[in-house]
Structure 1
Amino acid sequence: MIAGVEAGPTNTDAVLLDEAGLPRATAKVPSVPDDPVAGVRAALRALPRAEVTRVAVGLRGPARAVVERRGLARVGVLRVGGDAARAVPPLAGWPEELRAAVCAGTAVVDGGGGFSAEEWTPLDEDAVARFAAGLAGRADAVAITGVFAPVDGRQERRAAEIVRAELGEVHLTLSGELGPLGLLERENTAVLNAALHRLAGSLADGLRAAFDEAFGTGVPALVTRGDGTVMGLDHLRRHPGLGLGSSLASTLRGAATLTGRPDAVVADVGEHRIRVGAVAGGYPRQAFGATIGGVPVAFWMPDLIRVPRSGPAAREELAEAVDRMQPAAGRLPLVVVGGGAGAVPAG
Structure 2
Amino acid sequence: MSHMNLSNNEEIYRIGVDVGGTNTDAALLDSELNTIHTVKVHTTRDVNEGIIESIRRLLSESNVNPAQIHYAMLGTTHCTNAIVERKHLGKVGLIRIGAPATTSVPPLADWDDTLKAAVGRHAYVVHGGYEYDGRTIVDLDEQEILDCFMKMKGEVEAIAVCGVFSPVNTSQEKRVEQLAKQVFGADMPVTLSHEIGSIGLLERENASLLNGALLNVIAGVVKGFEDALQGFGIDAGVYICQNDGTLMRSEYALRYPILTIACGPTNSIRGAAHLSGLNNALVVDIGGTTTDIGVLSQGFPRQSSAAVEIGGVRTNFRMPDILSIGIGGGTIVRADAKKDQVTVGPDSVGYELLKRGHIFGGDTLTATDVAVKLGRYHWEGVQADELDESICRRADEIITQDIEDAIDRMKTSADAVDVVLVGGGSILVADKLEGVAKIVRPDHYDAANAIGAALGEVSGETKRIYSLDEMTYDQAIEDARSHAINQAVLAGANRDTVQIVLSEDIPIAYLPGNALLVKVKAAGRL
TM-score band w.r.t. shorter chain: over 0.9
SS at match of 2:405: helix
**Structure 1 stretch displaced more, 301-310 or 240-249:** 301-310
Alpha-carbon distance in 2 for matches of 1:236, 1:158: 23
- The aligned counterpart of 2:206 is 188
Compute the TM-score of the two structures, normalised by the length of structure 1.
0.92
The answer to whether the 8 Å contact 2:196/2:208 transfers is yes
What is the identity, as a one-letter code, of the residue corresponding to 1:7?
V
- The aligned counterpart of 1:92 is 109
Q: Pick from 15, 19, 43: which aligns with 1:7?
A: 19
> 1:228-239 residue pairs with structure 2 within 5 A?
228-239=245-256
Q: Pick from 52, 56, 59: which aligns with 1:45?
A: 56
**Structure 1 stretch displaced more, 269-278 or 195-204:** 269-278
Alpha-carbon distance in 2 for matches of 1:214, 1:346: 42
- The aligned counterpart of 1:333 is 418
* Alignment size in residue pairs: 345
Q: Percent identity?
A: 34
Aligned-residue Cα RMSD (Å) equals: 2.0
Alpha-carbon distance in 2 for matches of 1:112, 1:307: 41
> 1:224-263 residue pairs with structure 2 within 5 A?
224-263=241-280
Alpha-carbon distance in 2 for matches of 1:331, 1:19: 35
Distance 1:280 1:214, change over 3 A: farther
The answer to whether the 8 Å contact 1:57/1:250 transfers is no
> 1:49-198 residue pairs with structure 2 within 5 A?
49-50=64-65, 51-114=68-131, 119-168=136-185, 169-198=187-216
The answer to whether the 8 Å contact 2:197/2:318 transfers is no
1:150-200 Cα offsets, whole Å, 9 max, x none, are: 233222122122223333333211112212222112111111100100011
1:112-132 Cα offsets, whole Å, 9 max, x none, are: 223677535221111111111
Distance 1:14 1:117, change over 3 A: closer
Q: CA deviation at 1:89?
A: 1.5
Q: CA deviation at 1:331?
A: 3.2
> 1:266-285 residue pairs with structure 2 within 5 A?
266-285=283-302
The answer to whether the 8 Å contact 2:198/2:317 transfers is no
Greater radius of gyration (CA)? 2
Q: CA deviation at 1:324?
A: 1.4
**Structure 1 stretch displaced more, 116-125 or 9-18:** 116-125
Alpha-carbon distance in 1 for matches of 2:210, 2:134: 30
1:272-314 Cα offsets, whole Å, 9 max, x none, are: 3222222222222222222211112122222222222240543
Alpha-carbon distance in 2 for matches of 1:215, 1:249: 29
- The aligned counterpart of 1:321 is 406
SS at match of 2:121: strand
SS at match of 2:69: coil
Distance 1:87 1:186, change over 3 A: same
> 1:287-302 residue pairs with structure 2 within 5 A?
287-288=304-305, 289-302=307-320
Q: Pick from 231, 243, 248: which aligns with 1:213?
A: 231
Alpha-carbon distance in 1 for matches of 2:189, 2:288: 37
The answer to whether the 8 Å contact 2:134/2:169 transfers is no
What is the identity, as a one-letter code, of the residue corresponding to 1:316?
Q
- The aligned counterpart of 1:286 is 303
What is the identity, as a one-letter code, of the residue corresponding to 1:328?
S
Q: Pick from 16, 20, 34: which aligns with 2:32?
A: 20
What is the identity, as a one-letter code, of the residue corresponding to 2:105?
V
Q: Pick from 45, 48, 70: which aligns with 1:33?
A: 45
Compute the TM-score of the two structures, normalised by the length of structure 2.
0.62
Alpha-carbon distance in 1 for matches of 2:417, 2:51: 32
The answer to whether the 8 Å contact 1:22/1:258 transfers is no
SS at match of 1:119: coil
Q: Deviation above 6 Å: which 4+ runs of structure 1?
A: none
Relative contact order higher in (CA < 8 Å, ≥ 6 apart): 1
For structure 2, which runs of at least 5 residues remain unmatched after alignment?
Answer: 1-12, 332-343, 345-394, 433-526
Alpha-carbon distance in 1 for matches of 2:318, 2:222: 21
